[in-house]
Structures are given as C-alpha cells and as structure tokens.
C-alpha cells in the first residue's frame, strides 16, 4: 500500500475514533480526556489493533502539549510570571524533592538498588502537564488558588526535567565524562538566553511584518512555524519542548498580536492534545499489566497514595483553600508524560532493566487514565456531602422559575441594602439566601426572599440566571462566594457580576476570576467616619469630602496596581509602602497650597 494511503487510513482511524467515543464520554459525564484515552485503547494494539505502533504517532501528538504551553504563556505577562517565582521555585522544589524522597525511599525499602530508587522517585514525582492543565481549563480552575499553585509546580517540573535527564548517565554503569555535561549545560543555557533575547528584539517586528501582508493564512503559518522552531531548538539541546514554547508565549504576552495568535493556534492545540491522549491510551501495555497485575496495581496504589499524602501536606502549607486541596492533590498525584522519557532513557543506559521499565511505564499510563475517573468520584462524593449537609427544605424554597433582571445571592446586611435600593426604584430582584430562619424573618418584614443554596447550578437556573443581566454576590462566606463566581463563569458567562469583598485577599481572589465590579464592604463606611472626624477637627465638609474622595480613588487604584503581584509578599509590602508615601506627599502638597501647615484649630481665631 502506498505511503500516502497509509497516512490517510491512519488519519481516518484517529478522527473517526475521536468523533464517536469522545461525545459519548462527555454525554455520560466522563469528560473529553477519558473519551480520548478510551478511543486510544479501542484502536490500539490491545483493542481492535487498527493502530499497531503508537510510538510512531507520539512525537506528533506531543506537539499538542507544546501548543498548550505556548498559549498558556500568552496569558502570563512577564511581570505576572515574575510575581509567581516564589511559588514556582519554592513550592515546586518542595513538591518534587518531597515526593521523590518518599517514593524513592519506598522503592529502596522494597529492595531496589540505590540508582534505581533515585530514578523511580524522581520519575514518579513528575506529574502530567497535559492532563492537569486540560482538567483545570475544563473546570475553570486556573484562576483559583489551587490552580495557580498546581500550575507553578507543573512549570517547575518542566524546568527540573533538565537536570533529571542529566543525572541518568551519572547513575549508569559507565559514567559520561564530566566535561561533556558542562558543555551540554552551557549549550542549553545559550539556547534559552537566545530565545529570550530574540523574543525581545525580533519576534514582535517579524510578526508585524508578516501581518502587513494581509493574508490570514500566512499569519497562521507563521504562528505555527514560530512554535515549531522554539520546540525544535529546545529538543536539539535535549530540553523540554513545552518549556521553550512557554517562554516564547510569555515573551509575546504583551504584544498586540496575542489575541490573533491564540485564535489561530487554539484549533490545532485541541486536536493535537486529543491525539496525545489517544497515543497514551494506545501505549498502555495490557500484556505486562495482565502478567504482573498484582505488582502493577500495588505500585499504582502505593505511589498515588504516598504522593497524594505529600501533596495534601504541601497544600496546607501553601495556603490552598480546604475545598480545593483534594482536587489539587489528585491532579498532581498522577504520573507524567516526561516519566516515559526518564524511564526509557534509564533503560537505554542499563540503569533500569526492560521488565522494570515496562511495569513503570504501564503504571504511569494507568495513573493518567485513572485521574479523570477519580476526579469524577471526588465530585460525586462532594455533591453527596453537600446534599447531606443541607437542612430540610424550607417552605420558602424556590420552585417556580423566575425572570427578574437581577439576582442577589445572600441577603445579610450587605445584600439587604442593595435589594432595598433596587426595590425602591421599581426593580424587584430575585433574592436567594441559605439561612432558612433568616428567610422566614425577612419574609415577615415583607422581603421577597427565597430559600436556597446559590452555589447550585440548578437552583440558579430556576432563579432565572439564564435570562438575568446582573448577579450580586453578597454571600458572607469567602470560599462560598468564590465557588459561586466559578460556577457562574462556567454555566452563565453572560451574567455581569457585582461582588462584595470581605477583605483585600478576597478582592484579589475575585479579580483573579475576572470580576471587575467589586466593592470592599468596610471602605465607604470607614471613609464616612473619617470625614466626620476631619470635620470635628476643623476641616469644612467640602474639604473633608474631597479628601475622602481622593483617598478612595487612590485606594482603588493602588489595589489594581498591587493585584498582579499579590502572591509576592515582598513586592506587595514594598508597593504598599510606596503608595502610602505617595498619598502622604499628595495631601501634604495640598495642605501647603491651602496654607494649612497643620490641621486647622477650631479654637484659633
């Protein structure tokens, strides 16, 4: 059969398998990743044998991970990436070394030689960037605290893969000369430096020149060529292709072509990422698993449990919110695609024998297959706990569909003021509150409040979220308010969110989720009190009002400036002090211009 027809047949097999299996998986609530993995198993050597050599497609499929990392880089401007350096190198190194120590120690206790234990620990400590980021994007987890921490750790793992691969020859029976490692390291650093310098000096000008041609298809070709070139450069010096693409994306994050690049590359990323998951499904060696089932299953359960335990401890120290910790741990507990490279290279250098390599690779592939399924189990358990924790249904529960233009979630002190002002101006909002006793009391006073948990998508839909224009997030509990925002972003993205922030950290978390209309609950009340104090000390009401207005504007502007750096405590403190000095200098200049060297004394004539 001609070579061209073989490629056509293979392409047809992949596409038909994806088109049939993935929609079925999504229909049954299993998600697209499970669909692609199942499609790969179905057409692979241990299914219908329509594809007998999954390794032949893995090289092309891995380009989907490369494109994904490039697009993620486009979303992270250099200042924001710099602000994450503590999380990347701090929590990233703690995760990798902690998991490697526990897993490698476990292998050594089971009788593995020292070099094998080291590589088993390091290889299994790595997590799947492809699976984790795809799940986080599907679940809108990237802006959350847990999502940001997981992303920082995954980014560090891509960097750490370089020294891990360099370590393998040192553990081999015949060690390479030390000088060759120095040359390889210098060459790798030169390539990374070259990408950064060229990105700063040339990339934007080159894209501008291509854009002037006015041919959209040429710009798309240029975008693909850019990513391929970055990946090829990194591969040439045995570095992570995904890391090179990520660097290129970060360098272009501030360019005017960012959105155009995202639009052009997104379809290719989705298709190739799906192909990657299919290749993983095809690569699972069920013969090895069947022959050593107890060993593989024991190794799988042991490494997932040990790794998850370390990650849960890390999540607590990294201040990941409690409800996000199980998902954080489960996402990073799985093995990663880079473990395939580590174990295969170790086998090539005789550090690990072929039988051990097959077992380890099968275990890693199974962990990638299990992760989306375990997340579904976790989701169902969480929903059962929520239903069990709910009080008996209130007689004022929302039953009939509503059609008000505004929904208020939470009707405590804050929500009541919003609702009363709207009601006084002829706008009757749909109000939801989760406290049955509060609802009963408010209804006696004439408020149209319904009992219900606003963080439930079905209840929001009944409340009219599909047709409403505005949702006011007035829930007292910070974690519940953030959960509501995530839910609305996923199911009702058209809704304009107006939110109350309990404190500055809550404000930062809301901004991370794209909420723009945020008010801190104590700001205006505090400023009103400050105005009263100034008036009592001799300022006129007009002067006190102007000072309070300027202070308010400065406070809001400073929060916006601090927001990109809110995970960097040192930068946050430095910028806050600088902002306070600027405000003091501004007020001092205004006092001097008015002839007030000090606050006016009402007793002076």
**What secondary structure does DSSP assign to 10-58, as a single string?**
HHHHHHHHHHHHHHHHHHTT--HHHHHHHHHHHHSTTTT-S-S-THHHH
> Which single residue is written with the structure tokens 């009944």?
462
> What are the chain's domains?
56-383 (1.20.1530.20), 406-594 (3.40.50.720)
The C-alpha atoms of residue 544 and residue 375 are separated, in whole angstroms, by 55
Section 95-118 average pLDDT? 88
Average pLDDT for 314-332: 84
Residue 596 has pLDDT above 60, yes or no: no
**Under 8 Å between Cβ of 5 and 15:** no
Q: How far apart are CA 427 and CA 468, in angstroms?
A: 12
CA distance 421 to 263: 42
Q: What six digits make up the tokens of 151?
A: 């992303």
From CA 25, how far away is CA 35, in angstroms rounded?
Answer: 5
Higher pLDDT, 260 or 352: 352
Instruction: Tell me the three state secondary structure of residue 320.
Output: coil
Per-residue pLDDT reduced to its tens digit, 389-436: 555 444 445 555 677 888 888 887 788 888 888 887 888 888 888 776
pLDDT, mean of residues 31-59: 75
pLDDT at residue 600 is higher than 70: no
Q: Give the angle subtended at the CA of 477 by the CAs of 471 and 479, to the nearest 5°.
A: 85
Ranking 128-137, 158-167, 343-352, 368-377 by mean pLDDT, the lowest is: 158-167
pLDDT score for 597: 42
Alpha-carbon span 356 to 298, nearest angstrom: 14
Residue pair 340/326 in contact by the 8 Å Cβ criterion:
no
Compute the distance between CA of residue 506 and CA of residue 515 in angstroms, rounded to an integer.
11
Whole-number pLDDT of residue 241: 72
The residue-averaged pLDDT of 300-329 equals 86
Does residue 453 have a pLDDT over 60?
A: yes
Q: Confidence band (pLDDT; 50, 70, 90) for 176?
A: very low
CA 125, 64, 307: angle at the middle one, nearest 5?
Answer: 15
| Torsion-angle region of 46 (φ positive above 0: left; ψ -120 to 50: alpha; else: beta) | alpha
pLDDT of residue 327: 86
Q: Looking at the whole model, is its pTM more than 0.75?
A: no
Contact 25, 38 (CB under 8 A): yes
Residue 500: in which H helix or E strand, if any? strand 496-501
- Measured in degrees and rounded to the nearest 5, phi and psi for residue 90 equal -80, -70
Contacts of 576 (CB under 8 A, 6+ apart): 558, 562
The tokens of 28 are what?
Answer: 């049954």
Residue 333, classified by CB atoms within 10 Å of its CB into exposed (0-12), middle (13-18) or buried (19+), is buried
The H or E element spanning position 430 is strand 430-433
Backbone dihedral angles phi then psi of residue 568, each to the nearest 5 degrees: -105, 100
pLDDT tens sequence across 539-579: 888 888 888 888 888 777 777 777 776 666 666 666 666 66
Whether 132 and 147 have beta carbons less than 8 Å apart is answered as no
**Which backbone phi and psi does 77 adopt, to 5 degrees?**
-70, 150
The mean pLDDT value for 251-256 works out to: 70
The vertex-550 CA angle with 548 and 556, nearest 5°, equals 100
- H or E segment to which residue 450 belongs: strand 449-451
């Amino acid at each position: 059969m001609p070579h061209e027809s073989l490629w056509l047949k293979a392409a047809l097999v992949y596409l038909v398998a994806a088109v049939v299996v993935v929609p079925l998986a999504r229909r049954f609530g299993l998600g697209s990743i499970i669909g692609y993995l199942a499609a790969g198993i179905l057409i692979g050597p241990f299914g219908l044998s329509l594809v007998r050599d999954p390794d032949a497609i893995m090289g092309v499929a891995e380009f989907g991970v490369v494109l994904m990392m490039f697009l993620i880089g486009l979303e992270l401007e250099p200042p924001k990436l710099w602000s994450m350096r503590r999380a990347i190198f701090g929590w990233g190194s703690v995760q990798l070394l902690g998991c490697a120590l526990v897993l490698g120690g476990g292998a050594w206790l089971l009788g593995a030689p020292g070099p094998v234990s080291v590589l088993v620990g390091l290889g299994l400590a790595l997590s799947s960037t492809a699976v984790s980021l795809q799940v986080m994007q599907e679940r809108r987890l990237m802006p959350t605290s847990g999502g940001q921490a997981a992303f920082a750790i995954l980014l560090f793992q891509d960097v750490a893969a370089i020294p891990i691969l360099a370590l393998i020859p040192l553990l081999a029976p015949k060690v390479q000369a030390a000088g060759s490692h120095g040359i390889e390291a210098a060459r790798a650093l030169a390539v990374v430096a070259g990408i950064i310098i060229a990105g700063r000096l040339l990339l934007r000008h080159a894209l501008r020149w291509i854009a002037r041609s006015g041919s959209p298809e040429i710009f798309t070709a240029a975008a693909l060529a850019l990513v391929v070139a970055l990946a090829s450069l990194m591969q040439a010096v045995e570095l992570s292709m995904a890391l090179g693409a990520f660097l290129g994306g970060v360098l272009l994050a501030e360019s005017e072509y960012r959105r155009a690049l995202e639009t052009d590359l997104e379809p290719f990323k989705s298709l190739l990422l799906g192909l990657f998951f299919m290749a993983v499904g095809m690569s699972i060696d069920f013969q090895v698993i069947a022959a050593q089932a107890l060993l593989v299953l024991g190794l799988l359960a042991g490494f997932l449990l040990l790794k998850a335990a370390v990650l849960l401890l890390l999540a607590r120290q990294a201040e990941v919110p409690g409800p996000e910790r199980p998902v954080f741990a489960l996402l990073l507990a799985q093995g990663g695609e880079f473990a395939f490279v580590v174990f295969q290279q170790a086998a090539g250098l005789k550090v690990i024998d072929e039988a051990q390599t097959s077992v380890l690779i099968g275990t890693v592939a199974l962990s990638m297959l299990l992760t989306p399924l375990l997340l579904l189990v976790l989701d169902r358990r969480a929903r059962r706990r929520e239903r069990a924790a709910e009080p008996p249904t209130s007689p004022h529960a929302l039953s009939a569909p509503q059609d008000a233009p505004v929904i208020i979630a939470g009707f405590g002190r804050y929500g009541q003021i919003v609702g009363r002002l709207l009601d006084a101006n002829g706008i009757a909002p749909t109000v939801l509150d989760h406290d049955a006793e509060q609802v009963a009391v408010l209804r006696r006073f004439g408020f149209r409040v319904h009992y219900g948990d606003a963080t439930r998508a079905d209840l929001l839909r009944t409340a009219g979220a599909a047709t409403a224009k505005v949702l006011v997030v007035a829930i007292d509990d910070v974690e519940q308010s953030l959960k509501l925002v995530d839910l609305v972003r996923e199911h009702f993205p058209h809704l304009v969110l107006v939110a109350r922030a309990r404190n500055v950290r809550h404000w930062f978390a809301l901004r991370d989720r794209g909420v723009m209309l945020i008010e801190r609950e104590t700001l205006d009340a505090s400023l009103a009190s400050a105005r009263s104090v100034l008036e009592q000390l001799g300022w006129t009401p007009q002067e006190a009002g102007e000072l309070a207005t300027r202070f308010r504007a400065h406070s809001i502007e400073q929060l916006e400036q601090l927001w990109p750096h809110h995970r960097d405590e040192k930068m946050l403190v430095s910028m806050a002090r600088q902002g306070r000095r600027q405000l003091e200098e501004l007020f001092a200049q205004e006092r001097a211009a008015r002839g007030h060297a000090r606050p006016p004394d009402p007793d002076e004539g």
